[in-house]
Structure 1
Amino acid sequence: MLVVRDVAEEAEAQVLAQGDDVHEPAAEEVVTEHVLDTCSALARRVEGLENDKVAQQLEIVKLNARLRRLKKVRTSQRVESLDAMENVFNQGRIIVDMDQDEWIELVVD
């Protein structure tokens, strides 16, 4: 049995198939470019977040140091005030200083 082939139809099919191949690399280039743009944007965003993280860590360290200094000053002031109140001479001097202040008025009950 002999089969008659239509050469024209096969040629058109090959041309259409080749035309599809031409569009595929262009589409792949667009997709590749889009992926690269997205990747670079995400890399910049990650870099920014890392910089923010470092800045926040530095601020936390500075605030902790400041808190320690304030606690130390507060503790030393409390010790000094206790020492001052325990000394009877200082109590008398503190009362005299309060008497000299115009805005403090002592009331005897």
Structure 2
Amino acid sequence: MTVQNELRLLPWSGPEGKPCYLSTDDRGGYMSRLADNIEAEQLDTAAELLKQAAETLGDEPTSLGDIQLLAKELTEALQDVLRVATSRGDLLARSEPHDL
């Protein structure tokens, strides 16, 4: 049985918002590549939203509805980025040799 710290956290949630994990040693396998591509898309989306936020919150007046929508989208993007950071941090920790 694979220990949970040996599993890769995937960039999507399962039923009821529970995290999904991948158990594989093949970082070039289909599911690993799919996860890598989705993570890249999530990071690109977050970068675009950050640009949009800077523009929206600039000098021009902004409606409350626009600000609320932006806050919702930024919250979702931040959740995705946090999941990517956690997953990649876990992968790095496992791939680096540990000094004893």
State the TM-score, normalizing by the size of structure 2. 0.35
Which structure would you say has the larger RCO, counting Cα contacts within 8 Å and 6 or more residues apart? Answer: 2
Structure with higher strand content: 2
